[in-house]
Amino acid sequence: MADTHDFPDIQERLLALEEAFADRNGYRFKKALSELRRSIKMRANAVALAQAEILDSRKEIERNRKQCVDLQAKLKTVVDRFEGSFTAFEKFRKAIRVVELMRGHEDLPAVLDRIKDLFGLRAVSLLLDAGEYAPFEPPGARLAEAGALRAKLAELMPKGAGPGPFMGSIRAVPDPEFFFGQGFCAERKVLLLGSCFIYPLRDKFSPQKLVGILSFFDSNPDRYTSEKGSEFATHFADILGYTIVDVTDRKKAERLREDVERMTRHDLKSPLTAVLTLPQLLRRDGNLTERQNDMLSLMQHAGYRMLNMINQSLDLYRMERGVYELSPQMVDILPILDNISGELRGVIEASDLALDVVVRGRPRQDGDAFAVRGEEMLLYTMLSNLIKNALEASPPGQRVAVTLAEGRTLDVAVHNAGAVPASVRQRFFTKFATAGKKDGTGLGAYGAKLIAETHGAKIAMATSEQKGTTVTVSFPKPRTPANAQTNTNTNTKAKMPPAAGRG
C-alpha cells in the first residue's frame, strides 16, 4: 500500500527528528515533525482506504456467494423439473406403447390397469358413448348416453374453458361418481385431499364427435392443478381415444365382412345345387360315352369342391384371427393328391406338364400311404393351391414333383422348375402378393400358410434361377401307434370324393 501512495517511511522521519532535537536545530526539528505528521496521515488514509476496499470486496464476495447459492437452487429446480419431465415422458411413452398394442376391446381392462400402475394413480376410469359402443360390450369401460356425457362436461367446465382437460381438486367436480363410478365417494378423506384429470375423448376423423371421457384420480392434491401443464396426459388420452376408434372401426368392418360372406355363401349355394344335380340327371338318360362320364365326374367333383370351399371361407377368416378350432384326424395325403391331379388335368395337359409323386425317396407305388394329422378338406385346399401355383409357374414341358419325406417331421414338398419373381420373394406368403399372373389374386400361398400354421406345421419357400422353386410344409409327427394310423387311414380315404384320375 505504501508503494501505491508513495509516502516516506515513518521510521526515517523519526530518526531525522531525533537528530534535529539532538542538534537543537529548531527549524530542522519543526520540518521533520511536519513531515512525520504528513507521513502518519498518509499512512492512516492508506489504511482507511485499504479497509474500505477490503469491506467492499467482502460485500462483493458475499453478494457473489448469495448469487451462487441462488443459481445452485435454480439449477437444482431446473434439473429436478427436467428429471421429472423425463420420468413422466418415459412413463407416458410406455403407456402409449401399451395402448398401441391393443388389438381389441377385450384388451381394455389390462390397458387401464397398466396405465394405473405406470402413473401411480388411485383410480382410472373410462366412459364411452353407449350409442356407439354398447353393441361391442367393451370390458373395463362404463357406458353412458352421449347427451349425459356432454351435460356432465358442460357442468364441470364452463363454456369459456375451451375443449381442454379439467385439472383440479376432486371437490370441484359436481358429480365424481359419474366420472369414476358408483361408490367412489365412499372414501371421504381421500376425496377431500385428492386431485383429478378429466379429459373428453374425440373421434380423430370427426373431432366434434365425442367418443367418451378418460379420468385420472390421485390422492396427492398437487398432482393435477390448473397451473400445471398437461401436454403428456392430453397427448396420451388422444392416442387412447384414437386407438379405441380404430379398434371399433375394425370390429365393425369384421362384422360387415362376416355378414357379406354369409350372404355370399348363401347366394352361391343356390346355383351350385343345379351344378351338382345336373350330372345325375344326365346319367339317368344313359347313352353316354366313357369320356362323357369322366367329364361329368370331373364337373360333379369340382362342384363338391366349390361347395366345400364356400363352407370353408369362414374357417379361413377365423384362421386369420387365430380363433379357428382344429378337429384333426389321421389323413392320408395320397388320395388327396389323386383328386387334385384329376381336377387339374386340364392345366397339366394344356401345358404338356407332368405331375410326379415321390414317397419316401422312390416313385409312388400301389399300397403306399403317407398320413399326417389334420382336417382333410383343409389339407386338400392347401395342397391344391400349392400344386396349382407350381403348375402355372412351371415352364411348358417340365415336370412338377410332389415329394413326401419322413424324418424328424413329415415333409410335403412341391417343386417346379420356374423361379419366383424377385419382386415377390420376400413377401411370397403375404396377402395379395402376386406377379406375372393375369388373374392372380395373391391368396393361394397366403391361404396355404394359414392352413399349415393352423395344423402346427411350418411352411417355407426356396427359389433360384438354377434350381427352380420348392415349397415345403413340415408337419409334426403324430404320436399315435402305427397300427392305429393304418386303421384311421383306411377310414379317412372313404371321405374323399371318388378320384378323377392320377397324375
Label residue 414 by pLDDT band (50, 70, 90). Answer: very high
pLDDT tens across 341-400, in order?
A: 888 888 888 888 889 999 999 999 888 999 999 999 889 989 988 998 899 888 888 999
Which homologous superfamily does the CATH classification assign to the domain defined by 100-248?
A: GAF domain (3.30.450.40)
**What grid cell was written down for 464?**
433360384
Statement: residue 480 has pLDDT above 60: no
Look at residue 484 in the predicted model and tell me its pLDDT.
44
Domain boundaries, the chain: 2-73, 100-248, 326-493
Yes or no: say if 209 and 182 are a contact pair by the CB < 8 Å rule: no
Please give the average per-residue pLDDT across 425-437, as a whole number. Answer: 72
Phi and psi at residue 202, in whole multiples of 5°?
-115, 155
Beta bridge partners of 363: 358
Q: Other C-beta atoms within 10 Å of 470: how many?
A: 17
pLDDT value, residue 1: 42
What pLDDT score does 473 carry?
95
Measure Cα distances from 462 to 59, 458, 459, 466 in Å: 85, 13, 10, 11
pLDDT digits (tens, 9 = 90+) for 222-278: 888 887 776 778 888 888 889 988 888 888 887 776 677 666 666 676 677 777 777
Residues 6 or more apart whose Cβ sits within 8 Å of residue 129: 143, 144, 145, 146, 149, 210, 211, 212
Rounded Cα distance, 421 and 400, in Å:
18
Phi-psi region of 24 (alpha: psi -120 to 50; beta: other; left: phi over 0): left
pLDDT band for 492, please (50, 70, 90 cuts).
very low
Task: Identify the weakest region by mean pLDDT among 57-61, 84-88, 240-244.
Answer: 84-88
User: What CATH number should be reported for the domain whose range is 326-493?
Assistant: 3.30.565.10
Please write the tens of the pLDDT for every residue from 33-42.
Answer: 777 777 778 8
C-alpha cell at 231: 401436454
Of 92-96, 160-164, 328-332, 335-339, the one with minimum mean pLDDT is 160-164
CA angle 222, 226, 229 (to 5 degrees): 90
What are the residue ranges of helices labelled H in 353-480?
Answer: 376-393, 444-454
Q: How confident is the model at residue 495 (pLDDT cuts 50, 70, 90)?
A: very low
pTM: 0.47
